[in-house]
């Protein structure tokens, strides 16, 4: 039944405090509990003596900690990591009888954070405050100010002095600087699931080793808007692990980061010597070596060639096909399979690029068991490709061609990708469209978006490009 705990957590914090916050991950528990950003917020808020925070997910309508209802909390924090999270946020508010529009809420603060806030303007009529960029420092400052206010909703201008916050009521046309922090904080008490709840991060300590990315691939949000690249030193990582080991239980360590540190080999060796299993959810080609792969013990290794060799170089991912096959030959000595990720529909893509991708997959299958995954290109704000148009008809033809040549390819649904595109590059008009649909219980689909475009109700992408106000 929805909302019933089917597993055991350890590291969960239950406390009484003057101010009670709800922390909402607008997706299922499996996705949310493996998000390290959620753990950061959970621990930072709970570390403040005047605050407690409890978690909610799509499949847990009542809080994990006390089973209380969302409407009973003073403020509600949403972690926005994917475009569909915006739709889910609105649905969650409506389900809990909380007014969607800021102007209709007299008490509660609605607060958003996460990478999706590089374009916070879609929902500017909904939330009271948006955290822009890294939130560790700004959240501490926010809590200190909040605890000294009689009515934070009416005294919202007090938060305007904090860098990295966008407050629609007071920041009219201002530029908002994205906040970045040094990696000098890491939670040591993590709510980690175990028991009969099967999950890839089960009994796993999530260890952030880096933030940002050294690459600036033209299609990617991380390298262009979520930087600069920062990495933790090896000695610091080992110290976090030793402290974490004293305070909680874990069997495996997942190294979290879009780009692994230059000392990865040494880090893996040190952690292995301490007796831990190691998981690397994200691996770049340069991270794969004869010293790392044997220690991982992963049955499947994921690689992301993205496109054909020639187009790969054009978008900033400068690896030759032969370099990938060298690594695949190494992987097959220690693992059973590879998973290959590709993007189709990139600017400049031609038929020959698709043919080269298909040939790449066939050659890989000769060497090792291979699964391939294809995602249509969804342009992101703040990237060199933000003006690229999502051509549904053209992409549909490419899907047919891929399916006719690679029978077992997994291809992301185009209609779903179009919705992501609309939200990613949308403005306030997209927000109003989604709000109205949720308020009136209408489905938000590809066809509903296209009808609204035809009527001139919305424009995709937004010509105003409000996201340019965010300085990245």
Q: Could you report the per-residue pLDDT of 35-45, keeping only the tens digit for each?
A: 999 999 999 99
Are 370 and 361 within 8 A, CB to CB? yes
Our count of domains for the chain comes to: 3
Q: What is the mean pLDDT of residues 379-394?
A: 96
Instruction: Report the pLDDT value the prediction gives residue 277, as an integer from 0 to 100.
Output: 85
Q: Is the pLDDT of residue 377 over 90?
A: yes
Answer yes or no: do 82 and 121 share one domain.
yes
Same domain, 261 and 315: no
Question: Crossing angle of helices 446-454/414-424, nearest 10°?
Answer: 50
Mark whether 311 and 278 lie in a shared domain: no
Please check the confidence at residue 112 and state whether its pLDDT lies above 50: yes
Q: What is the CATH number of the domain that holds 256?
A: 3.30.750.210
Separation of alpha carbons 151 and 109, rounded Å: 10
pLDDT of 394 reads 97
Sign of CA dihedral 49, 67, 13, 200: negative
Give dist(CA 386, CA 427) in Å, integer. Answer: 13
Give a yes or no: residue 71 inside a domain. Answer: yes
**401-456, pLDDT tens digit by residue?**
999 999 999 999 999 999 999 999 999 999 999 999 999 999 999 999 999 999 99
Asked whether residue 198 carries a pLDDT value surpassing 60, the answer given is no
* Percent with pLDDT over 70 in the chain: 96
Would residue 454 count as lying in a domain? no
Please tell me the distance from the alpha carbon of residue 431 to that of residue 260, in angstroms, as a whole number. 36
| Domain co-membership, 158 together with 264 | no
- How far apart (Å, rounded) are the C-alpha atoms in residues 11 and 190? 5
Task: Specify whether 14 is located in the same domain as 148.
Answer: yes
| Final residue before a domain boundary, out of 297, 318, 341 | 297
In a domain, 435, yes or no: no
- pLDDT 10s digits, 265-313: 888 888 888 888 888 877 889 889 888 888 888 899 999 999 999 999 9
Residue 471 in any domain: the answer is no
**Count of CB atoms situated within 10 Å of the CB of 304:** 18
Contacts of 438 (CB under 8 A, 6+ apart): 87, 90, 91, 94, 100, 444
pLDDT digits (tens, 9 = 90+) for 331-362: 999 999 999 999 999 999 999 999 999 999 99
pLDDT over threshold 80, residue 396: yes
Q: Which residue has the tokens 């889910």?
A: 88
Q: Is the same domain home to 23 and 103?
A: yes
Which pTM was predicted? 0.94
Residue appearing with tokens 């110290």 = 239
Question: What is the pLDDT confidence band of residue 1, given thresholds at 50, 70 and 90?
Answer: very low
CB 108 within 8 A of CB 98: yes
Residue 279's pLDDT is what? 85
- pLDDT value, residue 114: 97
Looking at residue 174, its pLDDT comes to 85
Rounded CA gap, 435 and 463, in Å?
A: 20
**Side-chain-facing half-sphere of 229: CA atoms under 13 Å:** 12
Nearest to 374 by CA among 403, 350, 351, 397: 403
253 or 93: which leads in pLDDT: 93
Quickly state the pLDDT bin for 200 (edges 50, 70, 90): low
Average pLDDT, the chain: 92
Q: Are residues 143 and 52 in the same domain?
A: yes
Same domain, 32 and 55: yes
The enclosing domain of 68 has a CATH number of 3.40.50.280
Q: Can you read off the two tokens belonging to residue 444?
A: 């938000």
| pLDDT range class, residue 4, cuts 50, 70, 90 | low
Taken as a whole, the chain contains a residue count of 472
Confidence grade of residue 3 (pLDDT, cut at 50, 70, 90): low
Contact yes or no for 371/341 (Cβ under 8 A)? no
Please give the pLDDT value at position 53: 98
Confidence of residue 245 (pLDDT cuts 50, 70, 90): confident
- CA–CA gap between residue 2 and residue 29 (Å, rounded): 11
Kind and range of the H or E run holding 365: helix 351-367
| Range name among 221-230, 290-299, 323-332 with the lowest pLDDT average | 290-299
In this structure, are 311 and 395 located in the same domain? yes
Task: Please indicate whether residue 303 or residue 1 has the higher confidence score (pLDDT).
Answer: 303
Which domain range does residue 112 map to?
8-177
What one-character DSSP code corresponds to residue 441? T
How many alpha carbons fall within 13 Å on the CB side of residue 20? 15
Together in a domain, 117 and 40: yes
pLDDT for the residue numbered 269: 86
**285 and 308: one domain?**
no
Which is more confident, 132 or 246?
A: 132
User: What is the pLDDT, as a whole number, of residue 263?
Assistant: 86
Claim to verify: residue 237 and residue 358 sit in the same structural domain: no
* pLDDT tens per residue, range 154-189: 999 999 999 999 999 999 888 999 999 999 999 887
Cα pseudo-dihedral 107, 113, 116, 119, rounded to 10:
60
């Amino acid at each position: 039944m929805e909302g019933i705990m089917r597993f055991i957590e350890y590291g969960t914090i239950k406390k009484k405090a003057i101010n009670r916050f709800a922390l909402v991950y607008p997706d299922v528990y499996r996705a949310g509990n493996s998000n390290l950003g959620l753990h950061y917020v959970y621990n930072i808020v709970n570390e403040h003596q005047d605050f407690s925070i409890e978690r909610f997910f799509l499949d847990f309508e009542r809080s994990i900690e006390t089973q209380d209802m969302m409407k009973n909390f003073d403020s509600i924090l949403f972690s926005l990591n994917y475009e569909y999270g915006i739709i889910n946020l609105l649905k969650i508010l409506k389900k809990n009888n909380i007014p969607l529009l800021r102007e209709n809420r007299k008490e509660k603060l609605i607060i958003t954070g996460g990478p999706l806030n590089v374009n916070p303007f879609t929902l500017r009529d909904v939330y009271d405050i948006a955290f822009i960029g890294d939130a560790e420092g700004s959240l501490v400052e926010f809590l200190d100010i909040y605890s000294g206010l009689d009515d934070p909703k009416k005294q919202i201008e007090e938060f305007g002095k904090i860098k990295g916050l966008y407050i629609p009521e007071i920041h009219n046309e201002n530029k908002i600087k994205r906040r970045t922090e040094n990696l000098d904080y890491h939670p040591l008490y993590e709510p980690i699931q175990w028991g009969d709840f099967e999950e890839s991060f089960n009994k796993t300590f999530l260890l952030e080793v880096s933030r940002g990315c050294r690459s600036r691939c033209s299609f990617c949000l991380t390298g262009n808007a979520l930087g600069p690249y920062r990495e933790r030193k090896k000695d610091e990582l080992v110290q976090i692990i030793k402290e974490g080991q004293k305070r909680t239980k874990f069997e495996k360590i997942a190294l979290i980061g879009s780009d692994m540190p230059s000392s990865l080999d040494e880090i893996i060796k040190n952690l292995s010597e301490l007796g831990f299993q190691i998981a690397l959810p994200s691996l770049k080609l340069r991270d794969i070596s004869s010293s790392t792969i044997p220690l991982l013990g992963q049955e499947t290794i994921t690689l992301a060639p993205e496109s054909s060799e020639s187009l790969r170089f054009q978008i900033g991912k400068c690896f030759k096909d032969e370099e990938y096959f060298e690594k695949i030959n190494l992987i097959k000595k220690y693992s059973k399979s590879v998973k290959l990720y590709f993007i189709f529909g990139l600017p400049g893509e031609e038929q020959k690029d698709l043919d080269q991708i298909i040939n790449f997959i066939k050659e890989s299958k000769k060497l090792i068991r291979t699964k391939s995954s294809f995602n249509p290109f969804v342009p992101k704000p703040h990237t060199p490709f933000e003006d690229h148009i999502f051509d549904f008809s053209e992409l549909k033809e490419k899907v047919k061609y891929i399916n006719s040549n690679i029978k077992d390819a997994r291809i992301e649904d185009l209609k779903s990708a179009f919705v992501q595109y609309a939200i990613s590059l949308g403005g306030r008009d997209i927000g109003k469209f989604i709000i109205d649909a949720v308020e009136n219980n209408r489905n938000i689909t590809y066809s509903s978006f296209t009808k609204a475009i035809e009527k001139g109700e919305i424009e995709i992408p937004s010509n105003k490009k409000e996201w340019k106000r965010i300085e990245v």
